[in-house]
Amino acid sequence: MIYKERKGIILAGGMGSRLAPLTNVLSKHLLPVFDKPMVYYPLSTLMLAGIRDILIITKPEDLALFQLMFSFSHQWGLNIEFVVQEKPDGIASALILAEPFLDGAPSVLILGDNIFYSSGLTGVMRKAMSLSVGASIFTKEMASVNQYAVVELDKNGFPLTIEEKPENPRSNLVVTGLYFYDGTASERAKQLKPSKRGELEITDLNQSYLDDQCLSVCLMHRGAIWFDAGNHENLLEASSLIASIQHRLGVLISSPEEIAFRNGWIELGQLENLISALGESSYRTMLSCILNQERKG
């Protein structure tokens, strides 16, 4: 069997109703999270995992805006493609829409409103990238779990059960919107039956891997940050926290330009050209500081 490079999928469809009226005329994934569009954060997560071939799934009315936003993404060393989701029919349907793009390759699916920040995230993702068979889901301990899928582990850290929004959760370990799948994911998704709300549930897809005893769980440590930025409170909290970290630590979180450079996908001169094309903003100022540090180094 010929190994195929893992590809990335960003699910940026849906109605964004939890963020109305902000989303009445604009995709939530294009809303600002401090100094960057929301979609930059899941994109950067995929880049940190080492993924360069990425599919963005979006609504028909948002396609032109996404194409415009990423029209220069080749300058980041990326290949970004797009597909339209006609209606929000479940997260697992993303694997079906992505089937031609994946062409049998393993994948990483990330939700377009999920924001991750952790010093150890890259290492954990690279480990998940090495898996050739099965699926790996990223989880986080939370105080309130009723609005998420919850995983129960045995004493050795292997998953026993996955429940979607349980009334009586068996643990406080929730499934985040970051999923690593092998090349069978699209075919598995096509075998799923719609839930009571008429959607193909991602929990059912993960359950299929669990039934085949090929589901692993990656635990994010306590200091790791994860946001589902799909409501007003989380959007504001994420923006405030990112602003605080960047100002206090002097780092730039989820910058595609910097990640592309750190990954060796672009050279110093290319980074300089990207910076010069930006407006006079604090984002450009921080990137310029990174550029100057590299010149001195």
Backbone angles phi, psi at 88, to 5 degrees: -75, 100
Q: Are 128 and 244 within one domain?
A: yes
Q: Are 223 and 127 within one domain?
A: yes
Q: How far is it, in rounded angstroms, from Cα 92 to Cα 111?
A: 11
- What's 59's domain CATH number? 3.90.550.10
Q: Are 245 and 294 within one domain?
A: no
- Answer whether residue 2 is part of any domain: no
Contact in structure between 129 and 116 (CB atoms under 8 Å): no
**Mean pLDDT over residues 237-244, rounded?**
96
Across the chain, mean pLDDT equals 94
Q: Which amino acid is at 124?
A: V
Secondary structure of 232-293 in HEC code, one letter for each residue: HHHHHHHHHHHHHHHHHHCCCCCCHHHHHHHCCCCCHHHHHHHHHCCCCCHHHHHHHHHHHH
Q: What is the pLDDT of residue 2?
A: 52
Q: Are 201 and 217 within one domain?
A: yes
- Answer whether residue 1 is part of any domain: no
Number of domains forming the structure of the chain: 2
Q: Are 66 and 86 within one domain?
A: yes
Cα–Cα nearest to 180, from 212, 132, 224, 146 = 132
Name which residue leads in pLDDT, 230 or 192: 192
Q: Are 149 and 71 within one domain?
A: yes
Q: What is the pLDDT of residue 3?
A: 62
pLDDT tens string 34-58? 999 999 999 999 999 999 999 999 9
Q: pTM of the prediction?
A: 0.96
Contact in structure between 92 and 189 (CB atoms under 8 Å): yes
Q: Is the pLDDT of residue 146 over 90?
A: no
CA distances in angstroms from 161 to 158, 167, 210, 258, listed in the order given: 10, 14, 8, 39
Contact in structure between 42 and 111 (CB atoms under 8 Å): yes
Q: Are 290 and 203 within one domain?
A: no
- Answer whether residue 292 is part of any domain: yes
Q: Is the pLDDT of residue 67 over 60?
A: yes
Q: Is the pLDDT of residue 104 over 60?
A: yes
Q: Which amino acid is at 281?
A: S
Q: Is the pLDDT of residue 221 over 90?
A: no
Q: What is the pLDDT of residue 236?
A: 96
Q: How far is it, in rounded angstroms, from Cα 177 to Cα 103?
A: 23
- Answer whether residue 76 is part of any domain: yes
Q: Are 262 and 275 within one domain?
A: no
Q: Is the pLDDT of residue 166 over 60?
A: yes
**Mean pLDDT over residues 196-224, rounded?**
94
Q: Are 23 and 99 within one domain?
A: yes
Q: Are 19 and 102 within one domain?
A: yes
**Mean pLDDT over residues 174-179, rounded?**
97
Contact in structure between 8 and 82 (CB atoms under 8 Å): no
Domain of residue 189, residue span: 7-266
pLDDT class of 1 with cuts at 50, 70, 90:
very low
Q: In residues, how long is the chain?
A: 297
Cα–Cα nearest to 253, from 119, 110, 141, 55 = 119
Q: Are 244 and 283 within one domain?
A: no
- Answer whether residue 249 is part of any domain: yes
Quick count: other Cβ atoms within 10 Å of Cβ 289? 12
Q: Are 245 and 284 within one domain?
A: no
Q: How far is it, in rounded angstroms, from Cα 142 to Cα 144?
A: 5
Q: What is the pLDDT of residue 279?
A: 86
